[in-house]
Amino acid sequence: MFDNLSEKLDKALHVLKGHGQITEINVAETLKEVRRALLDADVNFKIAKDFTNSVKEKALGQNVLTTLQPGQLMVKLVKDELTELMGGDAEGINLSGNPSVILMSGLQGSGKTTFSGKLANYLKNKKTKKPLLVACDVYRPAAIDQLHVVGEQIGVEVYSDRDNNDPVAIAKAGIQHARANGHNVVIVDTAGRLAVDEEMMAEISDIHKAVTPEETLFVVDAMTGQDAVNTAKAFNDRLDFDGVILTKLDGDTRGGAAISIKSVVNKPIKFIGTGEKMDAIDVFYPSRMADRILG
């Protein structure tokens, strides 16, 4: 994960980690390298610039050059800043409803259906949760089939209605079904499109209004870098979602999406997807991610 970025940051901070005497020039040079590494990882220019400016300010504020181990302090400042940028503390999901409704949104191919299954499996394994998956993609019969396959794989019931082409009605009926059958979590999988369009946004907004979910999650493919951030922004403008799910972090991603998305939409990343299998799901912990990035 983020191998390239880790390598570049390691190289940038190498001088500070090993150098006997650290000067203002070392620090400035290092921060320049850090900024370059972030830009190469597809972090937005302004975010990368603000990042290094903030680290610089903190370094000056703490008189970094006069401390006993200035190199280590600088590394810590970079790590703290990275953690802060990615969201600070880990954020859980709201499961206070009965049933709790979780609405999944995102573009087609982002990994929504796969993640719906992973989340259902994750919650089912918590023992106190009995999830129901609801198939609201009325445009692609294959999407309904896919959710059924996932449901079967993890032993979670799937509610669908192939004769109904109204996703709002299906979502509502799914929640009714959950109530009647003792499901305390309902995960609503919706239709995506290849790009953000008005019809999709209107549909997901209508479902959102009708089912008033405890959690609305936006799923995005981390491989798409700054596009992921732009799509998040477009969805957030219309949907006001609660959290981001970053998928495909097992691939050769550069890291830009993970690093920038929180500060652009001001919504936390809640989970990450790290593979195609149903157990490839992790809670997103900003500080652990920063540790991984900094090696």
Positions in the binding site for ligand GDP (CB under 6 A): 106, 108-114, 192, 247-248, 250-251, 273-276, 280
Nearer to ligand GDP by Cβ, of 25 and 142: the residue is: 142
Summarize the annotated binding site for GTP as residue ranges: 106-113, 189-193, 247-250
Give me the least distance between CB of 106 and ligand GDP, in Å please: 6
CA distance 7 to 42: 15
Residues forming a β-bridge with 244: 218, 269
- Least distance from ligand GDP to the Cβ atom of residue 289, Å: 15
Largest CA distance in the chain: 73
Q: Which residues contact 240 (CB under 8 A, 6 or more apart)?
A: 216
Nearer to ligand GDP, 79 or 112 (CB): 112
Residues 187, 104 contacting (CB under 8 angstroms) = yes
CB closer to ligand GDP, 97 vs 275? 275
Are 122 and 281 contacting, i.e. CB atoms less than 8 angstroms apart? Answer: yes
Closest residue to ligand GDP, Cβ-based? 273
Q: At its nearest, how many Å lie between ligand GDP and the CB of residue 136?
A: 11
Give whichever of 231 and 274 is closer to ligand GDP, judged by the CB atom: 274
Whether the link from the prior residue into 131 is cis, omega within 30° of 0, is no
Binding site, by residue number, is 106-113, 189-193, 247-250
Contact, 84 vs 171, CB < 8 A?
no
Residue 77's contacts (CB-CB under 8 Å, 6 or more residues apart) are 55, 58, 59, 62, 64
Q: Which is nearer to ligand GDP, 87 or 192 (CB)?
A: 192
Q: What is the distance between the alpha carbons of residues 255 and 223, in angstroms, rounded to a whole number?
A: 8
Min dist. Cβ of residue 39 to ligand GDP (A): 25
Q: In the bound complex, what is the minimum distance in angstroms from residue 33's beta carbon to ligand GDP?
A: 30
